[in-house]
Amino acid sequence: MDLLNTKRYDLYYADQSYLERTFDQIQRDFDMTGISFDRDKNSPKNYQELYQIVFRNIHNLIMQDHSQFKNLLYRIDVSEISIHRKMALNPDLKLEEEISKLIIERCLLKVLTREKFSK
């Protein structure tokens, strides 16, 4: 299976190794932006736990410092256009929830890209 040509990210989220590397990538991106990343003591054991951690951090960041939030999106490479497009397609979606999902997806893609090109 070609890692970069699949949209079946749920297969990777079910793999603890990919889940941990995605979590590590998210933490690195927060750190490189100078934003503290509030995390639980243990690494997430499944996608839902990872999502909850990211959601909590994004929610707090949006409430506290919108410019830092924009810097984080730029650092992770989640475009505002993709956010607006997704929200326009389904206005019932909650912004913080969708941004959290997009961040996780983008960080997983970074992990997969690194894996593919490091061989």
As a whole number, the mean pLDDT across the chain is 88
Sign of torsion over alpha carbons 29, 32, 36, 42? positive
Domain ranges of the chain: 3-117
Quick check: 102 and 3 in contact, CB under 8 A?
no
Each residue's pLDDT tens digit, 22-75: 999 999 999 999 998 887 777 899 999 999 999 999 999 999 998 999 999 999
Each residue's pLDDT tens digit, 67-96: 999 999 999 999 888 888 888 888 888 889
